[in-house]
């Protein structure tokens, strides 16, 4: 049926079709410029400690806002 003409990886097939002088450019996904270095998927060990830091900071701000509603 012509669906599969052969089995091979990208580099081998491109070299077979276009010769040994073919140059393949590696394209990677862009990283967002606002990525935190310690967030999920960031540079920290396991990536979890940054999440806990942010959660603790947000809970402290929320608690302070609740106390300020009572005038304390």
Residues 42-54 have pLDDT tens digits of 554 555 566 778 8
55 domain residue, yes or no? yes
28 domain residue, yes or no? no
Mean pLDDT (the chain, rounded)? 75
51 domain residue, yes or no? yes
| Separation of alpha carbons 72 and 64, rounded Å | 9
- Band of pLDDT at residue 67, cut at 50, 70 and 90: confident
Mean pLDDT of 20-28: 87
25: Cα within 13 Å, side-chain hemisphere: 1
13 domain residue, yes or no? no
pTM over cut 0.85 = no
How many domains does the structure of the chain reveal?
1
49 domain residue, yes or no? yes
- Domain of residue 62 covers 39-72
């Amino acid at each position: 049926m012509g669906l599969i003409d052969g089995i091979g990886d990208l580099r081998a097939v491109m070299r077979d079709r276009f010769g040994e002088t073919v140059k393949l450019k590696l394209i990677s996904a862009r990283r967002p410029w606002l990525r935190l270095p310690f967030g999920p998927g960031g540079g920290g060990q396991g990536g979890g400690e940054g999440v806990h830091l942010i959660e603790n900071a947000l809970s402290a701000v929320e608690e302070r806002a609740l106390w300020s509603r009572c005038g304390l």
